[in-house]
Amino acid sequence: MNTLFYLIIYDLPDSKAANKRRTRLHRLLSGYGKWTQYSVFECFLTAKQFVMLQHKIERLVKKEDSVRIYVLDAGAVKKTIAYGSEKPRQDETIIL
């Protein structure tokens, strides 16, 4: 299955309702990818999975929130530079 790399960054204001939304968004994104920085998720998703995620994000966020999604292909992921953490990589197996 062909997957693309989706870099998802969010910034939600500091109000009671937005805090709640942020937690919800965090939990939503945990289901799709890896939490790498405080408001950054890295996801390897197929087209179908991404459409589902996009739909869910759109239903959740309000006007004052900001969510940015960068779509990168394999070539761009390969050229990623990371200091102090691992480069993004698709987990084939998770052994716990």
Partner 1 sequence: MSVLYVLQPNAILNKVHEAFHVALQQEDGTWKKQAVPAQTVEQVVLMGNPQITGDALCYALELGMPVHYLTSFGKYMGSALPGYSRNGQLRLAQYDLYHDRDRRLELVKAIVMAKIHNQHLILYRQKVKKNPLKQRKKDVKTQTTLDQVRGMEGLAAREYFAGLSSILEDQWGFKGRFRRPPTDPVNALLSFGYGLLRVQVTSAVHIAGLDPYIGYLHEVHHGQPAMVLDLMEEFRALVADSVVLSVINTREIQCNDFTESLGAYRLSDSARKTFIQAFERKMTDEFKHPIFDYRCTYRRAIELQARLLSRHLLEDIPYKPLMLR
Q: Cβ of residue 6: shortest distance to partner 1, in angstroms?
A: 11
What whole-number distance in Å separates Cα of residue 26 and Cα of residue 31?
9
| 2 belongs to the binding site for partner 1 (CB under 8 A) | no
| 57 belongs to the binding site for partner 1 (CB under 8 A) | no
| 90 belongs to the binding site for partner 1 (CB under 8 A) | yes
Among 8, 12, 45, 61, binds partner 1 (CB under 8 A): 45
CA quadruple 77, 83, 54, 50: dihedral, nearest 10 = 40
Q: Cβ of residue 84: shortest distance to partner 1, in angstroms?
A: 21
60 Cβ contact list (under 8 Å, min separation 6): 21, 24, 25, 28
